[in-house]
Structure 1
């Protein structure tokens, strides 16, 4: 377990978003993060697949012993806070059967920026109830690193299909007893086959299902080239979920996404005016992967007995989330539209008199 005491007052320091320092929340003393010289590495999936592992669902929780108050707690999070004194705790990921994080995209969006992003988002939600304004209280938001898998691969795909070429044919028909002609577009199909190749880099797959995928996808794109080699200091003071999606399952999802791109490549290779793809056989070469932690601010609010979640990209400030609708505002708009239409109808009728 990792904790980082302040050199000035002895309290535990935390990583400050948008900086390269650990900052004390009490005396504001700063401890610079000295570069380690480490580099982000990709790991061979073939070598990994040959290792014996315990499924993540069967792994025990992390045990944290707080050096501040001495409390011993357990959590399935990689980093958390002491339940008794709120001190930041970071697990040792080098031990055990979990895949260790290889990279982290540190937080750069701080709490004041989160507040402004939430205010802008709430103000842009038409027909939202006034209670949505409470989500702008950024103090209720908490910073969380979400686990993601990235996959690289070189692919070669052999396809079979058909190429459609349009042509125009003159068609004769009868209209009211008169013989007429018209041009009709038709398609002539030809068999097609070939091979396409594409290299994929950092196909991103979420390693957790605890947040809504439809909202998480709206936080993209992520500036992945800015990722730093993993070091536990980046996690201090921030929650970090451990992955529950196994890397094998993540790879299958990645292949599904690759297949969509490969299908477009096959159609481009077939050419013509239309394409039909009958079969695709893809070989995946030099597959590599890594576990990366991405920064997200999570905020929740309650409306009409239901909890809604909003997420903020911890690097770009992009906001995505759920929102309720105000029946009163929608009804008021409907009445206003109806009144406007009635006024227009009356004006038109009067103008004709």
Structure 2
């Protein structure tokens, strides 16, 4: 059991227990936040099913892009090495962006960690089930969405607070799927970076407060026989929203990035006060939105090197670790190990195409508090309690 799972277990697990009871009450998957368990029980082979990917918004599309473009294994013999064909060329994906409830990174700082955990499990249930709304104002839901054979948590905060929950839930519900999270994959990506220099983690406030990256990085390096890394992290409460174009975060992207990068460098300098100066050489992009601003991030580091007080704490060139790229490797290995890779040329009975779903505030709920932008009013969004499984506000 991970540190986070153990901490949650000590506090009682009303979130997981509540959803498990709800799933048991709706075995046909007809209710929101449930799935038809028979859909898995009747299948001896899951290889033809799609792969589920979810994030708190559009940031997870960087992970999906990495999955679609990855070519680091031979498709025929599964050995490392590019073969000119995408590794997942035969696979189909279902993507869920929980846009209405983003950014996930702000729930822990609002004292709503348990509600965040519930949101993450609801995301997983959506992908396991067949129920969805074909459009925001549809009079009733549809039930023709296929289940998935694997879950990719394409969100660092969701991985930090929900990976162990989703794995435990899948086991409890008897669902034979495996779950891949971006944090573990990203930490393993550090093994391929130069050993010199310090590691900077640029992430959301929620991800940083969980301490998941420092702990996972040290554990991963230790298992590989590496020494302890110097890790500094900085959590941005706004950058993901700015990248999304959320009207609630109206700061210019370049300005927001400059402030956050400065925050990371200042934190690194403060942590090394009086000790040996080790420049930031490796930067973990600890939010799936952040690779979308990699140019601005690198330019901000370069600009700060012009400051003689900060230059010693920043390497002349930086290595950026995008966990999405390493998540693709992790997923390929898991599919190959489980012999669940989709056979070449075998069109899935559920439809040979990728599918995309986004959450929005429920337009049927006229009493739902909305901001001027049309999104959930922040005090409502971050004030909700767990266990309201009969309420479908998004």
TM range (shorter): under 0.3
Q: Which has the higher contact order (CA 8 A, sep 6+)?
A: 1
Q: What is the TM-score of this pair, normalised by structure 1?
A: 0.24
Q: Pick the structure with more strand per residue.
A: 1
Q: Pick the structure with more helix per residue.
A: 2
Bigger radius of gyration:
1
